[in-house]
């Protein structure tokens, strides 16, 4: 295939990103990723903000990672400040895949505590990938403020992010394990257990921690 033909296919793919069929949009994102062009980046980022299909969004992220970071980073950093929750969430997800630590200043406390669970979870994942050396303890302390938040899947995501920081999270967990809120205490105790025994599994750890808190046994006193 000639370069001209590739460019024609890519231009057609840009239009197909708005097709009603998710299979067509998926193929379009794949085509664009296979033939990177800086002029496509803004369209890809804009599409991430509105694309309803998870698999297509993931392919859009892949397509963005195929472009130079110098081209994608400015648009992604704008997107994390968007008022649209999906724009923030997907931009953060993409930043975690790009892995360029120049994006670290964009991971603000506001994003780590975003009211939307998907945005917050994406921020947690991005933060542990992008955190500069020496900032792990401060990040762990910030993440600990979210302990006890949301349903089990959200809590699992937070624990996974904190555990990626290693032993630096231990002091924050110790403090949280004595918090007045029983949900915070249970989540902290479960994460402590996983830090000691990563193979125990979050579901088991959180149920055991809830029992400890309910019974008021050592480590779960109110």
Q: How many domains does the chain have?
A: 1
Mean pLDDT over the full length of the chain: 92
Does 114 fall in a domain? no
Classify 71 in phi/psi space as left (phi over 0), alpha (psi -120 to 50) or beta.
Answer: alpha
pLDDT digit string, tens, across residues 28-58: 999 999 999 999 999 999 999 999 999 999 9
Cβ of 126: how many Cβ atoms within 10 Å?
27
Model confidence band, residue 5 (pLDDT cutoffs 50, 70, 90): low
Q: Are 17 and 46 in contact (CB under 8 A)?
A: no
Q: Collapse the DSSP code of 120 into the 3-class scheme (helix H, G, I; strand E, B; otherwise coil) and give the result.
A: helix
Does 122 fall in a domain? no
Does 52 fall in a domain? no
Q: Collapse the DSSP code of 53 into the 3-class scheme (helix H, G, I; strand E, B; otherwise coil) and give the result.
A: coil
CA angle 28, 29, 31 (to 5 degrees): 65
Does 178 fall in a domain? yes
Does 73 fall in a domain? no
pLDDT tops 60 at residue 108: yes
Number of residues that make up the chain = 222
Tokens matching residue 119: 């945005």
Domain boundaries, position 216:
136-222
Does 207 fall in a domain? yes
CA angle 155, 160, 121 (to 5 degrees): 60
Which pLDDT belongs to residue 221? Answer: 38
Q: Report d(CA 104, CA 121) in Å as an integer.
A: 16
Does 142 fall in a domain? yes
pLDDT digit string, tens, across residues 113-125: 999 999 999 999 9
């Amino acid at each position: 295939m000639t370069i001209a033909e590739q460019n024609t296919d890519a231009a057609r793919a840009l239009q197909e990103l708005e097709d009603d069929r998710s299979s067509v949009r998926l193929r379009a994102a794949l085509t664009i990723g296979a033939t990177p062009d800086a002029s496509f980046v803004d369209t890809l980022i804009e599409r991430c903000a509105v694309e309803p299909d998870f698999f297509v969004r993931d392919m859009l992220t892949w397509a963005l990672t195929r472009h130079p970071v110098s081209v994608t980073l400015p648009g992604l950093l704008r997107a994390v400040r968007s008022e649209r929750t999906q724009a923030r969430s997907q931009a953060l997800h993409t930043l975690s895949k790009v892995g360029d630590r120049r994006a670290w200043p964009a991971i603000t406390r506001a994003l780590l505590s975003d009211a939307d669970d998907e945005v917050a979870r994406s921020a947690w994942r991005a933060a542990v990938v992008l955190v500069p050396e020496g900032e792990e303890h401060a990040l762990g302390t910030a993440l600990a403020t979210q302990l006890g938040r949301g349903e089990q899947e959200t809590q699992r995501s937070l624990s996974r992010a904190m555990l990626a920081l290693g032993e630096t999270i231990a002091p924050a967990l110790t403090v949280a394990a004595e918090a007045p809120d029983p949900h915070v205490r249970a989540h902290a105790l479960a994460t402590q257990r996983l830090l000691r025994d990563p193979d125990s599994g979050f579901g088991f750890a959180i149920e055991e921690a809830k029992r400890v808190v309910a019974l008021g046994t050592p480590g779960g006193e109110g």
